[in-house]
Structure 1
Amino acid sequence: MVSALSTRDLAKAFGSNVAVAGLNLEVPRASCFGLIGPNGSGKTTTMRMCAGLLRPDRGGVLVDGIDVWADPVEARRRVGVVPDPLLLFERLTGIEQLVHIGLLRNLGRIETETRSRGLLEVLGLREAADEAIGDYSHGMRKKLSLATALLHRPALLLLDEPFEGVDPVSAMTVRQVLDRYREAGGTVVVSSHVMEVLQKVCDHVAIIRRGEVLAAGAVEELSGNSTLEDAFISIVGEAPTDAALLDWLDAPA
Structure 2
Amino acid sequence: MSKALSSLREAIGAIEGTGIAGHPALQFGIDPIDAGLADRGLRIDALHEVAGAGPNYGDDAAASLFLAGIAARNAGSVLWIVRRRDLFAPGLYQAGLAPERLIHAEARDDAELLAIMEDALRHRGLGAVVGEPKRAGMTATRRLQLAAEGGRTLALMLRRPSRAGDDPFAQPSAAATRWRVGCLPSEPLPVAGIGRARWRLELVRQRGGAPFAIDVEACDETGRCALAAELVDRPDRAGRADARAVG
TM-score class, shorter: 0.3 to 0.5
Give the alignment's TM-score, normalised by structure 2.
0.37
